[in-house]
Amino acid sequence: MQARTGSIATTTRHPLGLPPFARVVEDHGPALLRFCAARVGHERSEDCFQETMLAALRAYRDVHDPSAIRTWLFSIAARKAIDAHRASARLHQPTDDIEAIPVGEDPAVRDEALWDDVRSLPDKQGRAVTLRYRADLTYAEIAQVMETSEPAARRNVFEGLKRLRKDTDHART
Amino acid sequence: MPERDLKQVEAVLSGRPAPDPAAWRRVRAELASRAGAEGLVDVAFERHDSPLGSILIGATHEGLVRIGLPTEDEDEVLAELARRISVRVLGAPRGSVTEARRQLDEYFDGRRTSFALPLDWQLTRGFRRDVLRATAQIPYGRTASYREVATQAGRPAAVRAAGSALATNPLPIVVPCHRVLRTGGAIGSYRGGAEAKARLLDLEHSA
C-alpha cells in the first residue's frame, strides 16, 4: 500500500487532506484491537482500544501527514498498552505458570499461550514482535513507532522470536 | 533440548484471529458514544433506510448539514465533510439526526408536509444559499420553475446559476429542490436521479 510510507514529522499538507475519522476507524480499528489484545490480553483489550482511539481523535486535527496515520495510531496503542501494564502490574504477573498451560491440543489455546509468552518478553521485543505479526507493520514502520532504527527494529523482532522458540520448547517438554 | 522451528513460531504469530463482526460493531458503537459524550465529534452521521434507498444524514452541533442520497458515493460524501467542515467525522448518535430520521419516516409515510429541524447552511454560500432558502419556501405538493426561484433569490436572469445551486443542494428532501421543475413542467435533473425526483413528487401529490 503506497499510502503507508512517509514520516510523521512532515509538515506539508497532503493535497487530499486527512480522511474523515470514520474512515480511519474502519481501516485501522480491527488491527489496533488485535494489537491491544496481543499486548494486554483479551479482558483489557477493549479498554486499551478505546483509550487509543479517543486519544487519536483528540489529536487527529493536528496530524500533518495522512500517509503516517497507521504508524501514528500504533505508537499511541503501544503507549496505552504500557499504561495498562503499569496500572495492573501487580495483577498481571509475568507468566510463571507457563507449564500449566495445556498446549498442543486446541490450536486456539496453544496460540493464546504463545501470545502470553509474547507478553512476558522484554518490552521492546514484545512490542516489536506484536507490531510485526499482529499489526503487520514493515520493519521501517516498526522503527517509526518505536522511535528506533530499522536494524534495531529487525533485531528486536529476531531476538524476540529466538526467545519465544525457547519458551515454546520449554512449555512443551 | 530440541528447539522448535523458527518458522513454526512465526506461523502461529502470523495467524489472524477471525474477526468477530458482532464484537467489532459493539466496540465501534462504544467508541462513537464515548467520543460523542466527550464532544469530539464535529460531524455525526447515521445511515437511514428510506423508500429511495439508504440515505446518509450528517449533523454538526448547529444542526443538519448534509443529506446524502442513495445515488451518491458515501465515501465521497464523508470525504467532502472532512475537507469542508472537520476531519472529526464519525458515525455517532446525535439528537438532531435521530429527529431527522423520525421526520423523514413520517414524510415518506405521507404523514408530514414540512420539516421542523435545525439546519446548518455552511456547505452553501452567497447566491446559492439564497436560492436554496427560496426553495425551502415552496410548499408541500407545489412546484416552481428555475426562473421563479432565481427571481425569489433576487437575480431573475440567473436561471443557470439557480440550476447549479439546486444541483449541489447539501440538504435534499428537507430543502425541497425536487419541487423545482423546468419551465413548462419538464422534470429536470436531480442529484438523486430523475427517478427519485419523480417519486418524491408523486408522493406529495397523492398524499
| CATH of segment(s) A1-92 | 1.10.1740
B82 lies in some domain: yes
Q: Kindly report the nearest CA distance between residue B38 and chain A, in angstroms.
A: 9
pTM of the model: 0.81
CATH architecture for segment(s) A98-173? Orthogonal Bundle (1.10)
- Residue B37 inside a domain? The answer is yes
CB A73 within 8 A of CB B104: no
Across residues A142-162, what is the average pLDDT?
93
The DSSP bridge pattern shows strands B89-91 and B43-50 to be parallel
pLDDT in tens, A5-59: 334 443 444 456 899 999 999 999 998 998 998 898 888 899 999 999 999 999 9
B103 and B134 fall within a common domain: no
Domain range for B54? 23-108
Residues pairing with B67 in the sheet:
B57
Residue B69 has pLDDT above 60, yes or no: yes
How many angstroms away from the CA of A88 is the closest CA of chain B? 22
Is the domain of B87 the same as that of B162? no
In this structure, the answer to whether residues B152 and B98 fall within a common structural domain is: no
**Total domain count, chain B:** 2
CB < 8 Å to A18, chain B:
82, 87
Instruction: Tell me the CATH number at B176.
Output: 1.10.10.10
**Per-residue pLDDT reduced to its tens digit, B96-122:** 999 999 999 999 999 999 999 999 999
DSSP assigned state of B175:
S
B115 is annotated as an active-site residue: no
- Confirm whether B119 is domain-assigned: no
B27 and B102 inside one domain: yes
Which residue of A19, A34, A61 is in closest CB contact with B79? A19
Q: Which of the pair, B179 or A168, is modelled with greater confidence?
A: B179
CATH of the domain at B67: 3.30.160
Confidence check: pLDDT of B1 > 80: no
Q: Tell me what ipTM this predicted complex has.
A: 0.89
**For chain A, which residues make up each domain, given as ranges?**
1-92, 98-173
As a residue count, chain B comes to 207
